[in-house]
Amino acid sequence: NAGVMQNPRHLVRRRGQEARLRCSPVKGHSHVYWYRQLPEEGLKFMVYLQKENIIDESGMPKERFSAEFPKEGPSILRIQQVVRGDSAAYFCASSPGGIPLHFGNGTRLTVT
């Protein structure tokens, strides 16, 4: 059973470019969560999605960030016009609607 798969593991972007982070949940899981983790800090909730729907995006910055979880394919976290402050580890987690969450290995984004 494959766990939550995130890719890429490491992503380097120059300021102003776009970053696309992918998350394939555990097979059969229809709930996906995205978190951001800065060095030496905890995880900050960004967005919670179910298939084709955004349930809660209260942790997402209002500009430049978007997320989707289409009927087919992985969930995508998209960051447009990246800035240095976007450098962080981005974790995706999935669940079947219950608990606990299964976390992916994260994507470490570096903006140069």
Q: How far is CA 84 from the centre of its chain?
A: 18
Q: Report, in Å, the least distance between residue 58 CB and other proteins.
A: 8
CB of 70 to other proteins, least distance (A): 21
Taking the complex as a whole, the smallest distance from the CB of residue 105 to other proteins amounts, in Å, to 5
Q: 69 vs 91, which CB is nearer to other proteins?
A: 91
Beta-ladder partners of 66: 78
Q: Both ends of the chain: CA-CA distance in Å?
A: 36
Q: Which is nearer to other proteins, 43 or 76 (CB)?
A: 43
The CA distance from 17 to 15, in Å, is: 6
Chain residues binding other proteins by CB under 8 A are 33, 35, 41-45, 48, 56, 58-59, 91, 93, 99-106
Phi, psi of 25 (to 5 degrees): -70, 170
